[in-house]
A and B are shown apart, each in its own frame.
Chain A
Amino acid sequence: MSDARSQRPGLYYPKMRNTWWLSRPGYVRFMIREATSVFIAIFLIEFLVLVHAVAQGPDAYAAVVGRLASPGWIVFNVIALVFALYHTVTWFMLTGVVQVVRLGDQRVPPGLIVAGAFAAWVVVSLFLLYWIVVRS
């Protein structure tokens, strides 16, 4: 990676306090957005354990589902869901800014791209919900 941070003599390195991100609401939101990844990663490990249990057999599956039903895990997963949704919302908002879509020589307005992403998300989620819970 880039060596911008390696301390070379004669260069100026601003001293920032470790609580800099508390100084503005926008900075706090930024840090929350970064922290969403931790909850998502923990859920995915949890999910992997569940997949493994399904592969092991009915008893292992029932045991893992039973463990996930404990109040501690339910509380954690509700929080994780809030963070996951925060990631989804911020990611889609970002998409509108980052992703430039052109139709002919016109640029599609960012708001439309964001709306499209949300619409696609709803469709994908409902499809998966239907496919996992009802159809399969």
Chain B
Amino acid sequence: MARSNEPFWWILFSGGGVVAAFLVPVHLVVFALAVPLGWVSLSHAKLAALLGQPIVRLYLFVLIALPLFHWAHRFRFLLEDLGLHGLRMPLAVLCYGSAIVGTVATLWVLLSV
């Protein structure tokens, strides 16, 4: 049987699913709603100090990059399910490629802190 690269993407998919399930809601509430709406105030100094810690940057890398691969996997099959069967390979390249670009961007942001 020919070797498949499916397990590799599948691990990224399920890992991203776990990270998104456990961690995304609380970050969304704090940073996308509570802070912009002024419910809580997080000073720049406080966040900059947090971001200065290597362990926090590692955490942010996992938090952002893994769910991007989860998105890639789901979005790819979502488009296929909506009828784009003929574009199987281009869709895969586009979706996983976007996740890879997002991962590199995340690395760049976190390493240039």
A interface, CB within 8 angstroms of B: 1-2, 5-6, 16-18, 20-21, 31, 34-38, 40-41, 43-48, 50-52, 54-55, 57-58, 61-62, 65-66, 68-69, 73-74, 77-78, 80-81, 84-85, 87-88, 91-92, 120-121, 124-125, 128-129, 132-133, 136
Once the chains bind, are B33 and A74 in contact (CB under 8 Å)?
Answer: yes
Residues of A within 8 A of B83 (CB): 16-18
A80-B32, A91-B18, A136-B50 known; A1+B77 contact, CB < 8 A: no
Task: Choose among B40, B44, B51, B70 the residue with the greatest number of A CB atoms under 10 Å from its CB.
Answer: B44
Judging by beta carbons under 8 Å apart, are A88 and B21 in contact? yes
> Complex Cα distance A109/B38, Å?
43
Query: A18 CA to B33 CA in the complex, in Å?
Result: 36
> Are B42 and A81 in contact, CB atoms less than 8 angstroms apart?
no
Interface of A is mostly: helix
Chain B proximity of A80: nearest CB distance (Å)? 6
Pair A81/B33 contact, Cβ less than 8 Å? yes
Is B60 positioned at the interface, with any CB of A under 8 Å from its CB?
yes
The minimal Cβ–Cβ distance linking A3 to chain B, given in whole angstroms, is 9
Given A51-B109, A55-B51, A124-B23: A41 in contact with B68 (beta carbons within 8 A): yes
Q: Which residues of the other chain, B, contact A66 by a CB distance below 8 angstroms? A: 36
Set B40, B49, B102, B113: member contacting A133, Cβ < 8 A? B40
- Assuming A48-B105, A51-B51, A121-B22, is B44 touching A58 (CB within 8 A)? yes
Could you say which residues of chain B place their CB within 8 Å of the CB of A136?
46, 49-50
Question: Interface digits, B98-109 against A, CB 8 Å rule (1 contact, 0 not)?
Answer: 000010011001
Distance from A62 Cβ to chain B, minimum over Cβ atoms (Å): 7
Chain B interface size, under 10 / 10 to 19 / 20 to 34 / 35 or more:
35 or more
Determine if B25 and A48 form an interchain contact, defined as CB atoms under 8 angstroms apart: no
- Assess the A124–B36 pair: CB atoms within 8 A: no
- A69 — which chain B residues lie within 8 A by C-beta? 36-38
| Given the contacts A31-B78, A121-B21, A41 and B71 also touching, CB distance less than 8 Å | yes
Structural contact, B102 and A129, CB atoms closer than 8 A:
no
B4 touching A1, Cβ below 8 Å: yes
How far, in Å, is B57 (CB) from chain A's closest CB?
Answer: 9
